[in-house]
Structure 1
C-alpha cells in the first residue's frame, strides 16, 4: 500500500516531476495526478499500483508502512502519528 502523501514525498525526494515519474512507471501523467490527488491510501488498478511501486523501488525509495521498521540504511523521513507543535507559534517559557 502507498498513500498519496508518500507518493508526493517520494517524488520530491527523488527530484522528479510527474511526467518523469509517469515515464519511469510506464503510466500516464493523468494517472499519476489522480494518484497524488487521492485521499489517503491510493486505490486503483493493481497493475498500475505495482508499476508505480516498482518504479519507486528501482529509483531507491523504500515505502514504510504504519508501525513497520525500515530495513534500509539510507536517509529518510517518517511522518509521526502525533503531529509536532506548529513552529510558527514560537517557544513558550
Structure 2
C-alpha cells in the first residue's frame, strides 16, 4: 500500500479553517510544515481538495495536527460534512 493512501485528503477549506483555529498566519503554516509560502498562497487561492503532491497535504495536515487541530472526515460534523476542531485539552 502506498503511504499517500493512508492519510485522507483534506480540503482547502479545512486547511484555512484549521489555520484560523490554530491562530496561524500563512507564514506560520509555511514555517511549521516546511511547505513554501508561495505554495500555501497558491493552494489557499483555490477550492476543493489540496492538490499537487500528496506529501504537501500530509505536511500541512501534520503541522496543523501538531498544533492541536483535529480533522473531521465526512460525517464528522453536525451537518455530516468534513470539518475541523481543536483537540480537547486534558
Asked if Structure 1 and Structure 2 have the same fold, meaning a TM-score greater than 0.5 normalized by the shorter chain, the answer is yes
Equivalent pairs, count = 74
Structure 2 match to 1:87: none
8 A contact 2:69–2:87 mirrored in 1:
no
Structure 2 residue corresponding to 1:23, chosen from 31, 40, 46: 31
Q: How far off is 1:50 after superposition?
A: 1.2
Structure 1 match to 2:51: 43
What's the TM-score, normalizing by structure 1? 0.69
Structure 1 match to 2:21: 13
In structure 1, how many angstroms separate the alpha carbons of the residues matched to 2:61 and 2:87? 19
| Offset from partner CA, 1:9-64 (integer Å, 9 cap, x none) | 11111111000110000011111112212211111111211111110111111111
> CA 1:51/1:73 → structure 2, altered by over 3 Å: closer, same or farther?
closer
Structure 2 residue corresponding to 1:60, chosen from 44, 68, 73: 68
Alpha-carbon RMSD across the aligned residues, in angstroms, is 2.2
In structure 1, how many angstroms separate the alpha carbons of the residues matched to 2:41 and 2:61? 15
Q: Which has the higher strand share?
A: 2
* Structure 1 gap ranges (5+): 76-93
* Structure 2 gap ranges (5+): 1-8, 78-83
What's the TM-score, normalizing by structure 2? 0.71
